[in-house]
Structure formats: C-alpha cells, structure tokens
Amino acid sequence: MNNSEMFKCLAPRMNNRQKELMHLLLTRSNEFVLVKTLAEELDCSEKTVRNDLNQLEKELAVYSSLEFVRKPGMGVALKVSNEEKSQLFRQLYQSHRTREHEQIVEITYQLLVSNKPITLTLLAEKYYTNKLTIKRYFQEIADWLKYYDLELVSKQRVGSVVQGSELNKRNALAHLSELVTSEIQARDYVLQLFPEHEINTVRKALRDLQAQFSFSLNTGEFESLLIHALIMIKRTRQHSPVAVNGDKGKGRAVTLESYHMTAWLLKQLKEMLGLKFPENEHIYFTWHLESCKQTQRITNLTENSLLTQVVQTITQQLEQMTMLRFQGDRILFDGLTIHLESVINRLQYGFTIRNPMLEEIKKKYPYMFSMVIFAVEEVNETYDLAIPEHEAAYLVLHFQASLERMQKEHTNRKRAVIVCELGVGMSHLLQVKLEQMYEHLDILASISKAELEAFLQKHAVDIIISTTAIPDASAPVIVVSPLLEADDKKRLNQWMRKSDGTTSDNHDVTALRQLLYEDTIFFDMQLSHRYEVVEMMAGNLTEKGYTNQSFVHSAVQRERSSATSIGGSIAIPHAHPDLVKKSVVSVAILPKPLSWGNEQVSVVFLLAIAKQDQHMIQPLMQTIASISQNPALVEQLKEAADISDILRTLDK
C-alpha cells in the first residue's frame, strides 16, 4: 500500500480539527509555530492541540520524510519533503473538499436569501466546526460573489450579509453549482436546498410547457430553467422583487414568443402554488427562456447580422494568428453561432456567468486560450461588447475541438458512443480527444443521457463513454471528465489494452531548446509584480531585435486581461504573433515565488512565436505543460545558474 492509499485509510480517523491543524502546519512547513498560536487559530485549548499533534505524529508515521520538531519557546515545526508535502496537500484536499463544498454551497445560499446578518458563531454551531473554518469559507464565498458584483459585508457582533442588486443575487443563486467540483453532482445538491414539492411542481410545469408549445430543451437547459424558476418562487415569496431596467428591454420582451410561453407557465404555477408573480418576474423568466431556446436554430441565427459578424471576426482572427484553416470547419461555425448568441443575449440582459473550468482550461490549453483572448478583445472593441474571460474560455473549447479534428487520423476503431450533458463545444472536444488518442475507437455519436436508450436500440456499441454515471447500461460504461484527465485515460487504457490505441505522454524538448538564447534568460530576477516581470522581459526582446516596439505593450495588456499562469509554478506571458520578428522564448527564474493571478510562480517562459513558426506551438506547449506537472524539474530550473544548467535540466 503506497502513501496515498494509506492516507485514504487514516483520513476518516482524523477529525475536522486535526485536518485543519495538518493544513496549517503544511502551509508553514519548516517554520516553527507556537502552540498558543495554533490554539487561537483553531479556537481550542493548547492541551487539545498537543493531543492532536501526538495523534497526527502516530498516524502519519508512514511518511518517511515527515517529522514533527518541537523546541521550547519556539513551538512546533513540520519537516517534510516537497514531494510528500504535495501528496499530503492533495489528499487533504480530496478528503475535505466534498464535505466542505456542500457546506459552502449551503452557507452561500443562506447568505444570498437572507436579508438579516448571519453570525460566525451561528454557522460554526450549525455545522459542528470552528469560527476559523467558517471564516475561511467566507473568504472563498466573498471571492466568488465578486464575479456577480456582490459584496459580503461583515460587522463585528452583528454578522455578515450580502449586498448588491436582486438580479445579481439571483444570478449567483442560479450558479451555486460553480462552488462544487462536479457540476452535475452540484446541480443535484443545489436542488436539495428547495422544497421537494416545489421541485416536482416546476418540473411538471416545464414538461407541460414543452408539450404545449412543441419545443425541446436538452438536459442542461431544462435543469437551468428549473433552478431559475425555483429561485423566482423563493424570492417572490420573500417579497424580494427583481428590477428590470429600461422600457426598451420590457418592450422587446413582450414581443417574443418566449414571453407568451412564460405567461402560460406562470399561470400554471399560480394555480398549483397559489402564488401571483409580478410583471417584472414575467420579464425576468422570459429572458432566461429565450436564452435557452437556442438549439436547432442555426438557419435563423445566421440571419442575425451582428452574431454572424462576431463569429466571422473571431474565426478570422484565430486563423490569421494560428495559420490554421478554421473558416472551413462547419461544425465549428455552428457551435460558435449557437454559443455566441447566448453570450450576446446574456450581455444584453445583464446576466453574468462564471466558468467553473476557467483555470483548468487556461492550464490545459494556454496558447489557444491566449489566441482567443486576443480575438475577443478585437471583437469587444469593434462591436462595443464586453465578452469576459469566463465566456472566452468556452470559446476555447470550440477552437480546440476544431484543431484536434484537423489532426485526427481515420483508422478502424471500436464502436463507442459519448454521453455528455455539458454542451456542444464540450462534447465535440471530448470526441476529438478520444479519436486522436485511440485510433481504433469509432465514435458513433455524442448524445444526451435521455437519448441513450433509444440510440442503443438502433446501434450496437462496444463502450459508452459518459460524463455522468449510467446504471444498468447494456454496454460497458466508463465515466470520464469532459476534459479527459489522467485518471480517465488510465481507465480507458485498461479497456483498450488489447488494441494499439494508446499514445505516449513523453514530449520532445527540441522545440523549446532551439528557441532559448543566452541573452534572453534572466537569473535571480527580483521584482515585486508580474507586470514588471513581463515588461522587463518583453522590453529586452525588443532591444535585442526579436520583436517590434509594440510587443511590450501587447504582452502587458495580455497579462492584464487574464493571468497567464498555468499551474506548477509556471507562467507563459506572450503577445500578438504579428509583433514578433524572430521566434524566441525568454526565461526568468524568480528566487521568491511571485503572485500570478491565482497561482504562485517561480519560472516564467515569455513566448514570442512568429506567425511563420506557428507549427512549433503545439510541441512547445506540450513541453512546458509537462514541466509544470513535474515539481522536481521546476525545482531544478529554479536552482539553475546559467543556460547550460537549464539545458541539462530540460534534457532530463
């Protein structure tokens, strides 16, 4: 049994306070902390802390490098290797996070629907924990609420309350699932916050609505409307009306078919729940219903000149920057058209979304993300829009799927069907990734869970690859993340073992090595902000003649738009390819980790890749991504004294 498995066995024996204590010591590893300080932070006695330390020391003896060092007057320090420290952090996170996420969702819900302050003491007692834990929850909740222009205001001896508009509160309530790792599981958990009889009533009314007006919603759209309707009912009962700004918006809403559908639906809900909805609620729900009615309307959508121009501009920009033929991909065009209409509607109606996979997408597809950001900035300026990075991240999936369709090889494959409830772009991305990795896999279709039974009656399949559990299926089922993570690949590899469909994860470092020059590498760079680092590195490239004068401004502006950290202590700032004369990668080693968005960064790769060298992007990004996933390699790069050390490290 390895350390990871051992921890899973002992984790249930550790209580919440002991896990909190372990987390505190890990964040301050190799530093002495007074027992009194730990007791204050954990809101318990010093004796309790000492007992917990003794218990942890026994339980964690399996970790060979771990040692609790005690010194009189100095306190206790946790000595542990970086490798086992990372392992412990990961296992603590996994054992904690499911329970914590559920509590955070519930607390956020209470804060959003309560008009009275809620105290730390009340929540600590309700969830059998301490004030320190609730404070940590509050910090996470406060950061999340900012995306919806809401503020968590706390006052001593009074409590905490969410301040902001009713519309923003409802937007946040509708997206509570973002606070949980698994969006599908989270959606089910969020529904548990509402009365069961109301959930069943609204479900029936929505099904009747589809039958009455002969239209269909996919699973995600149906569940989204269900949650919005439940929020509307809750807030109407609490006499918290939504404000609809502008007669023009109201006037446009009443002309839509969705308005008449909403009127029919709310009449049914009034009869079943005995609740009368104000006119503004009709407008509010009309917007949501209109936003969901996008599927199967490509022909009509292309008649929207603004939408068509936005799609064409983004596609043209990506094609020019990457030298890839995106404009010939009809699947890409249709997917972007459907998605961007929803984006434009959300911007017009004042709705906001937060992409729960933003950081993951940035890390997995950093260069494509950056190219999309450049294209979106052009669209925002040209058409007076304000498409944020959370929306741009979804567009990345469409373009990445198109790229991987270009690269796939057609061979004899096993018969498979994909079940994905997360939208067109995500299902296309998952499909091309599978087809690229497994040449013997023949993807027959990407469908919803509701369509599976009918599909299997008409088609014989060898395997079902799904983003959600499917019990009692007639074929083997492998549940995967929509972004196809390492564990997913391992399970698929096991199933595909008899075929030759696996690929190697080893990346050739040639692309990176040939772009490194001694005069563009900085050792022991000591600056206080990431913008300063980017400006200095970009300025050096301009001085050396590698880039145009505008490269510096473009690189800094790109960094301002969205932090370019990709995890693993690595950042990859860059600028528009048009501004590069000769391709080069500049490197900066930071002796002290620097805050880079939501990450801490120690090694910076400034990418300056000319348009004629775009073919180098994929192997280059594969190499840098593999470095970011190897903590030992990053540590060796941080210790490098010259370019020879860097090259020797890369060759390993």
Q: CB neighbours (10 Å) of residue 143?
A: 11
Q: Does 542 share its domain with 637?
A: yes
What's the CA gap between 354 and 648, in Å, rounded? 42
Q: Does 185 share its domain with 199?
A: no
Q: How many alpha carbons fall within 13 Å on the CB side of residue 628?
A: 24
Residue 646 within a domain:
yes
Residue 504 within a domain:
no
- As given in the structure block, the two tokens for residue 376 are 């979106």
What's the CA gap between 50 and 44, in Å, rounded? 11
Q: Does 262 share its domain with 336?
A: no
For the domain that residue 254 is a member of, what is the CATH number? 1.10.1790
What's the CA gap between 536 and 418, in Å, rounded? 47
Domains in the chain, number? 6
Question: Minimal CA–CA distance to 76: which of 34, 44, 37, 43?
Answer: 34
What's the mean pLDDT in 368-390?
A: 88
CB 232 within 8 A of CB 281: yes
Listed in sequence order, the residues at least 6 apart from 446 whose beta carbon sits closer than 8 Å to its beta carbon are 417, 418, 419, 420, 427, 428, 430, 431
In three-state secondary structure terms, 607 is strand
Q: In whole angstroms, how far apart are CA 452 and each of 47, 417, 448, 481, 552? A: 58, 9, 7, 18, 52
Residue 85 within a domain:
no
What's the mean pLDDT in 23-43?
A: 84
Residues in the chain: 652
What's the CA gap between 248 and 366, in Å, rounded? 40
| H or E stretch at 652 | none
Q: Does 66 share its domain with 103?
A: no
For the domain that residue 467 is a member of, what is the CATH number? 3.40.50.2300
Backbone phi and psi for residue 559, each to the nearest 5 degrees, phi listed first: -65, -35
What's at 1, amino acid-wise?
M
- As given in the structure block, the two tokens for residue 2 are 């390895």
What's the CA gap between 559 and 606, in Å, rounded? 11
Whether residue 269 has pLDDT greater than 60 = yes
Q: Does 309 share its domain with 324?
A: yes
556-568 pLDDT, tens digit each: 988 887 888 888 8
Q: What confidence category does residue 395 fall into, taking pLDDT thresholds of 50, 70 and 90?
A: very high
Listed in sequence order, the residues at least 6 apart from 547 whose beta carbon sits closer than 8 Å to its beta carbon are 538, 541, 575, 579, 580, 581, 608
Cite the DSSP H helix spans in 118-182. 120-126, 131-145, 166-174
Q: Does 183 share its domain with 313?
A: no
Listed in sequence order, the residues at least 6 apart from 588 whose beta carbon sits closer than 8 Å to its beta carbon are 521, 522, 525, 533, 537, 603, 604, 606
Residue 20 domain boundaries: 3-80
pLDDT of residue 93: 52
238-260 pLDDT, tens digit each: 988 887 655 555 667 788 888 99
What's the CA gap between 97 and 180, in Å, rounded? 9
Residue 312 within a domain:
yes
What's the mean pLDDT in 575-589?
A: 92
Q: Does 515 share its domain with 634?
A: yes
- As given in the structure block, the two tokens for residue 428 are 């296309």
In the listed set 46, 80, 114, which residue is the last one of a domain according to the structure? 80
pLDDT of residue 90: 64
Residue 402 within a domain:
no
Tell me the pairing of strands 599-608 and 570-571: parallel
Average pLDDT of the residues of the chain: 82
Q: Does 231 share its domain with 357?
A: no
Q: CB neighbours (10 Å) of residue 48?
A: 17
Tell me 522's DSSP state.
E
For the domain that residue 145 is a member of, what is the CATH number? 1.10.10.10
Q: Does 333 share its domain with 466?
A: no
CB 338 within 8 A of CB 398: no
Residue 276 within a domain:
yes
Residue 400 within a domain:
no
Interhelix angle 279-292/219-237, nearest 10 degrees: 170
CB 551 within 8 A of CB 575: yes
In the listed set 292, 313, 329, which residue is the last one of a domain according to the structure? 292
279-324 pLDDT, tens digit each: 989 988 988 887 776 544 444 555 567 888 999 999 998 888 777 7
Burial zone of 155 (CB within 10 Å; 0-12 exposed, 13-18 middle, 19+ buried): exposed
Residue 427 within a domain:
yes
Burial zone of 139 (CB within 10 Å; 0-12 exposed, 13-18 middle, 19+ buried): exposed
Q: What confidence category does residue 184 fall into, taking pLDDT thresholds of 50, 70 and 90?
A: very low
Whether residue 9 has pLDDT greater than 50 = no
CB 202 within 8 A of CB 233: yes
Q: Does 631 share its domain with 539?
A: yes
What's the mean pLDDT in 440-466?
A: 86
For tokens 């109606």, what's the residue?
Answer: 349
Q: In whole angstroms, how far apart are CA 617 and each of 97, 513, 515, 607, 621? A: 35, 13, 11, 10, 6
188-221 pLDDT, tens digit each: 567 778 888 999 999 999 999 999 998 888 777 7
What's the CA gap between 134 and 130, in Å, rounded? 7
Q: What angle do CA 305, 310, 314 make, to 5 degrees?
A: 150
Sequence-ordered strand ranges (E) for 534-622: 565-567, 570-571, 584-596, 599-608
486-535 pLDDT, tens digit each: 778 878 877 776 554 334 444 457 778 889 999 999 998 888 899 999 99
In the listed set 292, 311, 340, which residue is the last one of a domain according to the structure? 292
- As given in the structure block, the two tokens for residue 598 are 């939501």
For the ranges 5-9, 140-144, 256-260, 394-398, the lowest mean pLDDT is seen at 5-9
Q: Does 574 share its domain with 470?
A: no
Q: Does 123 share its domain with 162?
A: yes
47-93 pLDDT, tens digit each: 988 998 988 888 787 777 788 899 988 899 988 887 777 777 766 65
Per the model's pLDDT, the better-predicted residue between 586 and 187 turns out to be 586
